[in-house]
Amino acid sequence: MFRNSPEQAIKERVLAVQEYSLLAGEAVANLARRPRYLSDMILQADFIGFGSLPIVGLTGLSIGAVLALQTSTTLQQFGSVSLTGQLVSFSMIKEIGPVLTSLMLAGRAATGMASELGSMKVTEQIDAMRALGTDPVKKLVTPRVVSTVIMLFFLTILSDLMGLLGGYIVASGRLGLSTQQYWTSTYQQLQFPDVFQGLLKPFFFGFIIATVGCYYGVSTKGGTQGVGRSTTQAMVASSVLILIVDFFLTQLLIWIFGR
Amino acid sequence: MGTSATTTNGHPPSTEVVLEFQDVELGFDRHLVLRGVSFQLHRGETKVLFGVAGSGKSVLLKLALGLLKPDSGTIIVLGEEVTSMTEQQLFGLRRRIGMVFQESALFDSLTVEENVAFRLMEEHLPRDEVRERVTEALRFVELEHTIDKFPAQLSGGMRRRVAIARAIITQPEIIFYDSPTGGLDPITSTTIVELLVKQRDVYQTSALMVTHRLQDGFTMATHRFDRQRGEMVKVKNSDVNTNTSFLILRDGKVIFDGTGRELAGSTDEYIKEYIS
């Protein structure tokens, strides 16, 4: 349902894309400009990275365990239960680890950014910052983008490891695989392109999470109701963008590496 | 006022223009908020901007700071045309201007000290100097004891005074006050107005004050800060000029720009009704 005419609604969407692109571009360009607000980056890294450890660890562990359970039932039919570790590691490292961690972080960090910056916007704190001669994009957006990109990379590694551990718990506890059997199969077939794919994706997803969260935050309108709306939109938009970008990025990487 | 009038600081009124609006227009959603607004603010002068809610008062301040861009017209602040400046260029200019927002707009994740020191910290001044200047600014607004508190722990009036301390800490050349007494009780309002009079008379800062409270404007025009007594006193001598003028906006248009005496003697029906 369009609030205004369809033409007006389309113009608003195009304008939103333009504003998002400008904000994202400016956030990146600020990396070359001083001041760099290192303390703000560390503060954000603590919130985004350290603060997300429990949820990311738990999700990775749980998904790894479930993957082992699900794949083992199929593998049992072919007498190949020993390949459980390989399937878990392929799935976790190449795809599920980065995507799931990103989606979890979108739920935690993108919404947090949208609500925090949105509250600042509606209470004129962002205008006050501009009035005090400080660039809010440099002070608020760039540190969040840098911290999210860096921390998501490490969170993904943690999630992958926890996933493998979850798989191991199931493999040794329920499937009767030995420790050596499981861990050997997890890394035996892994090649550089697989690990590279899994570790490249967080950089793109982290950028999406932070820029989308910040964009919805700084463009909040309409008081506290607007803050709520921005928070929801940030979650939905960043998740959808992550899934879309993941598809095309995977296609591209398969085309480049052939696997 | 007589031609021989001096300001409260003992100098004749300055003719240097620090802020000028030339035929400025701005609209939102096909509705014109400001229509051909033109006026000047001189160095050391305080201009009180009156108008009913929605008449475009706050928007005018945001335009002067370059936080908004007009649809047409020219705005010159401290000799620079803000209408043609980029956001990056404006950051430099804004460091010479102070702004007190309607709802204080203090950073709620920072302490009072960090709020007041925000601009100094951005300039990477030594910590000792920052602390000293913050204490001095807070002493000016009589809130030294709140230095370690967070904005949420302060009352509305205290937050407004911290916002004033944040605006004056770098001794800006112009200060914009957006309804500094809005939503406050009469006693707190008088405290705030006294601070504005003190800032005007002690530092001779040019100011543009938006308000819908007539008594605040008239108090500014009829009082001066007595340094010996350390308080605001009523001006008795007609030769003393508090250098305060008035501007009235109606439906986005300037319908009055002049002194308090001219305002009191206005024959315009709307103005007569407004100030009655």
Q: Do A132 and B122 touch (CB under 8 A)?
A: yes
**pLDDT surpasses 80 at B6:** no
Contact residues on chain A for B94, CB-CB shorter than 8 A: 130-133
**For chain B, the helix, strand and coil percentages under 3-state DSSP, each to the nearest 5:** 35, 30, 35
Calculate what percentage of chain A has a pLDDT beyond 90: 81
CA dist., res. A42 & res. A65, Å (int):
33
Span B158-181, pLDDT tens digits: 999 999 999 999 999 999 999 998
Chain B interface residues (partner A, CB cutoff 8 A)? 62, 65, 67, 87-88, 90-92, 94-95, 97, 99, 101-103, 105-108, 118-119, 122, 124, 166
For residue A135, the chain B residue with the least C-alpha distance is: B91
How high does pLDDT run on average in chain B? 88
Complex confidence, ipTM = 0.87
**pLDDT surpasses 90 at B47:** yes
Contact residues on chain B for A123, CB-CB shorter than 8 A: 103, 105, 108
Q: How far is A22 from chain B (nearest CA, A)?
A: 13
* Higher-scoring residue by pLDDT: A23, B276: A23
Which residues are registered as beta bridge partners of B74?
B22
Nearest CA among B204, B198, B172, B27 for reference residue B92: B172
Indicate the pLDDT class of residue B3, thresholds 50, 70 and 90: very low
Would strands B31-42 and B17-28 be described as parallel, antiparallel, or unpaired? antiparallel
Whole-model pTM: value is 0.88
pLDDT at B2: 40
**pLDDT surpasses 70 at B254:** yes
For residue A34, the chain B residue with the least C-alpha distance is: B122
State the count of interchain CB pairs (< 8 A) between A and B: 56
Contact residues on chain A for B95, CB-CB shorter than 8 A: 132-133
Span B114-139, pLDDT tens digits: 999 999 999 899 999 999 999 999 99
Q: Do B91 and A135 touch (CB under 8 A)?
A: yes
Q: Do A132 and B94 touch (CB under 8 A)?
A: yes
Could you say which of B67, B92, B119 has the minimum Cβ distance to residue A130? B67
B210 token code pair: 């938006």
Contact residues on chain A for B122, CB-CB shorter than 8 A: 35, 132-134
**DSSP-based three-state secondary structure for A51:** helix
For residue B93, the chain A residue with the least C-alpha distance is: A133
Span B75-115, pLDDT tens digits: 999 999 999 999 989 999 999 999 999 889 999 999 999 99
Q: Do A133 and B118 touch (CB under 8 A)?
A: no
Q: Do A127 and B119 touch (CB under 8 A)?
A: no
pLDDT at B1: 38
Residue B204 has phi, psi (to 5 degrees) of 55, 40
Q: Do A128 and B92 touch (CB under 8 A)?
A: no
- Category of A223 on φ-ψ map: left (φ > 0), alpha (ψ -120 to 50) or beta: left
Nearest CA among A58, A103, A49 for reference residue A246: A103
Q: Check CB contact of A131 with chain B, cutoff 8 Å.
A: yes
pLDDT at B12: 57
Which residues are registered as beta bridge partners of B48?
B209, B246
Task: Measure CA A52 to chain center.
Answer: 11
Q: Do A125 and B108 touch (CB under 8 A)?
A: yes
pLDDT at B8: 58
Q: Do A125 and B106 touch (CB under 8 A)?
A: yes
- Least confidently predicted of A24-33, A142-151, B260-269: B260-269
Dihedral angle over CA of A72, A78, A82, A84, nearest 10:
-30
User: In angstroms, what CA-CA distances link A19 with A110, A139, A214, A217, A236?
Assistant: 17, 18, 12, 13, 18
Would strands B174-178 and B206-210 be described as parallel, antiparallel, or unpaired? parallel
Indicate the pLDDT class of residue B67, thresholds 50, 70 and 90: very high
For residue B117, the chain A residue with the least C-alpha distance is: A132
pLDDT at B237: 64
B91 token code pair: 């950051």
Residue type, B212: H
Which residues are registered as beta bridge partners of B22?
B74
